[in-house]
């Protein structure tokens, strides 16, 4: 099977084409209210299109379509479902350049360093979960020789998926691919800031999926996300976003007694021991802080504890490395660092930098240079900032900034670094940099996080369990186990043959 939709490499044209549309029951349709809201290019502040302003009426239509489609979908053999989901991966792969350009336009992430990477791994999630379809197996239970006792995995029904704007395509894929393979239908609510690339991805997948199986709405959280969570026919909600909104979602789900998966924020520590390879650790800090994504990552290594023996060397090298990065037009191939996604995030980030500047004892090192191009004069660009020696109890050191701001702390005792690393409400990711195996082994067990790495800082990928402890969330994503646990329920069947 091949896609009948030709790639559109001009993201401006594509944004206009998708304006005012949602995908419901296999069709691109306007919202019931007829209302739209502007989608803005963060690099110029120019409006690039209008997103459908979905609300409760659209949620009702999408869920009704999903309920209908799910009944038939669940009857198909799991391997057939898996094959179609894997086929979605193939189609998305063939369209990855246009998807990368579109997500660049709406989020301000740089095309070369970020969006192409995201669009490249997008298809992996569909290929990976599609291939796991035969693993939707049950067990036989040695209960009584005269009875056949077994378990089967059944789909939940309709899954509501609420996604953020920072890595919208991949985070959507990690939810909808396993949900669909497991036999569920899905209604996605995209983030206000990034509605188009995910809509385009769903439109492309629609060329192979049955109508109504995958629906995507756009709109405001309280008006479109909240009724999706509250809808009586939605049997499971999977959410990625802020702790604050995650709690609202959880409370509504509690009232309905339905399961939720929550992937929330982080304030992830990075510990650099005195014996670490400083150059590798500096490269790991640049990657871990996601400076190329303006630091807009839930796993950002935003609290960096550096042993006093190597601290000054580490800071100087880190600054030099970030200074060498080019901030500019996200669509430009030369650009390493793009713009902050929205005015709200921009103001929030600048406020934390200002607090850093006013904090006693702290030194704020601003890196790289704002773009000189007058076309980008109104763009939401922020110089990456290193808040060196920032007090550990200050707001920038404790709260999730979700911007290009790293807090650096000096330590001399390993115990102190471990305790400080764990002294946070969050627990998403952590890294330690050392040549000493004993220290590394001790740290990986003691660091309170869902994803711990030694001497490297890789990003999430299919088959690696992903998700936090403490306030960073509930439940894991990206693995076979997550598909079984979060998108099926286990039914016990006993057949008495006596
Ligand atoms: P948010 O959590 O408010 O938004 C995430 C998604 O939830 C969006 O689709 C939004 O429309 C939806 N939403 C909002 N209110 C809702 C409600 N009452 N019911 C159902 N859905 C609702 O995050 P936002 O406002 O984009 O960013 C605020 C902060 O959250 C950021 O500064 C960052 O610290 C954190 N964040 C963390 C992310 C992560 O990957 N863990 C992703 C995005 C933001
Ligand atoms: Mg919000």
Q: Which residues line ligand 1 (CB under 6 A)?
A: 162-166, 189, 191-192, 221-222, 225-226, 229, 240-242, 245, 248-249, 263-265, 298, 345, 348, 400, 402
Start-to-end Cα distance in the chain: 49
Q: 255 φ, ψ to 5°?
A: -60, -35
The ligand minimizing its distance to the Cα of 242 is 1
Provide, for the chain, the percentages of residues in helix, strand and coil under a 3-state DSSP scheme, each rounded to the nearest 5.
Answer: 45, 20, 35
Task: Give me ligand 1 centre to Cα 224, in Å.
Answer: 13
pLDDT of the chain, 498 residues: tens digit per residue: 444 799 999 999 999 999 999 999 999 999 999 999 999 999 999 999 999 999 999 999 999 999 999 999 999 999 999 999 999 999 999 999 999 999 999 999 999 999 999 999 999 999 999 999 999 999 999 999 999 999 999 999 999 999 999 999 999 999 999 999 999 999 999 999 999 999 999 999 999 999 999 999 999 999 999 999 999 999 999 999 999 999 999 999 999 999 999 999 999 999 999 999 999 999 999 999 999 999 999 999 999 999 999 999 999 999 999 999 999 999 999 999 999 999 999 999 999 999 999 999 999 999 999 999 999 999 999 999 999 999 999 999 999 999 999 999 999 999 999 999 999 999 999 999 999 999 999 999 999 999 999 999 998 889 999 999 999 999 999 999 999 999 999 999 999 988
Query: Which atom of ligand 1 is found nearest the CA of 162?
Result: 9
Task: Give me ligand 1 centre to Cα 241, in Å.
Answer: 4
Which residue's CA is the closest to the ligand 1 atom numbered 12? 221
Residue closest to 430 by CA, chosen among 275, 286, 311, 267: 267
Tokens coding 357: 């500047």
Task: Give me ligand 2 centre to Cα 263, in Å.
Answer: 14
For residue 269, the model assigns a pLDDT of 98
Q: How far apart are CA 58 and CA 56, in angstroms?
A: 5
Q: How far apart are CA 439 and CA 268, in angstroms?
A: 19
367 catalytically annotated: no
Whether pTM > 0.85 for this model: the answer is: yes
Overall residue count recorded for the chain in this entry: 498
**363-366 and 214-217 strand pairing:** unpaired
HEC string of 181-224 equals HCCCEEEEECCCCCCHHHHHHHHHHCCCCCCCCEEEECCCHHHH
């Amino acid at each position: 099977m091949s896609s009948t939709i030709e790639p559109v490499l001009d993201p401006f044209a594509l944004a206009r084409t998708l304006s005012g549309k949602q995908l419901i029951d296999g069709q691109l349709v306007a919202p019931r209210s007829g209302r739209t809201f502007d989608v803005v290019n963060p690099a110029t502040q120019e409006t690039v299109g209008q997103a459908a302003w979905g609300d409760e009426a659209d949620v009702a239509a999408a869920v009704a379509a999903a309920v209908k489609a799910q009944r038939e979908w669940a009857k198909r053999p799991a391997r057939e479902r898996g094959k179609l989901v894997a086929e979605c991966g193939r189609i998305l792969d063939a369209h990855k350049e246009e998807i990368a350009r579109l997500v660049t336009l709406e989020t301000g992430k740089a095309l070369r360093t970020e969006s192409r990477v995201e669009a490249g791994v997008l298809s992996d999630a569909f290929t990976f979960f599609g291939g796991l379809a035969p693993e939707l197996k049950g067990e036989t239970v040695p209960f009584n020789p005269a009875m056949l006792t077994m378990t089967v995995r059944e789909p939940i029904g309709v899954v509501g998926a609420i996604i953020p704007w920072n890595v919208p395509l991949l985070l959507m894929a990690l939810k909808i691919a396993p949900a669909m393979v497991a036999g569920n239908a899905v209604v996605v609510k995209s983030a206000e800031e990034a509605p188009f690339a995910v809509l385009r991805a769903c439109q492309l997948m629609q060329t192979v999926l049955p109508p109504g199986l995958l629906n995507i709405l756009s709109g405001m959280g309280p008006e479109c996300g909240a009724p999706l969570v509250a809808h009586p026919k939605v049997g499971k909600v999977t959410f990625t976003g802020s702790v604050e909104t995650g709690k609202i979602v959880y409370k509504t789900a509690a009232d309905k007694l339905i399961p939720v998966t929550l992937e929330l924020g982080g304030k992830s520590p990075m510990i650099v021991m005195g014996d670490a390879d400083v150059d590798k650790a500096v490269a790991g800090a640049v990657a871990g802080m996601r400076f190329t994504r303006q630091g807009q990552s839930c796993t950002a290594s935003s609290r960096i504890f550096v042993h006093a023996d190597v601290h000054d060397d580490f800071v100087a090298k880190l600054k030099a490395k970030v200074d060498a990065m080019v901030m500019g037009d996200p669509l430009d191939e030369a650009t390493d660092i793009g713009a902050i996604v929205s005015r709200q995030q921009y103001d929030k980030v600048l406020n934390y930098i200002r607090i850093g500047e006013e904090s006693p004892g702290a030194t704020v090192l601003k890196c790289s240079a704002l773009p000189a191009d007058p076309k980008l004069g109104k763009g939401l660009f922020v110089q990456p900032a290193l808040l060196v020696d920032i007090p550990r109890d200050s707001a920038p050191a404790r709260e999730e900034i979700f911007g290009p701001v790293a807090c650096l702390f000096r330590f001399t005792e390993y115990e102190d670094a471990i305790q400080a690393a764990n002294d946070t409400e969050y627990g998403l990711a952590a890294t330690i940099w050392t040549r000493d195996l004993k220290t590394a082994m001790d740290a990986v067990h003691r660091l309170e996080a869902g994803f711990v790495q030694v001497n490297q800082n890789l990003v999430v990928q299919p088959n690696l369990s992903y998700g936090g402890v403490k306030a960073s969330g509930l439940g894991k994503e990206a693995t076979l186990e997550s598909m079984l646990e979060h998108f099926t329920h286990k039914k016990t069947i006993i057949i008495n043959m006596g």
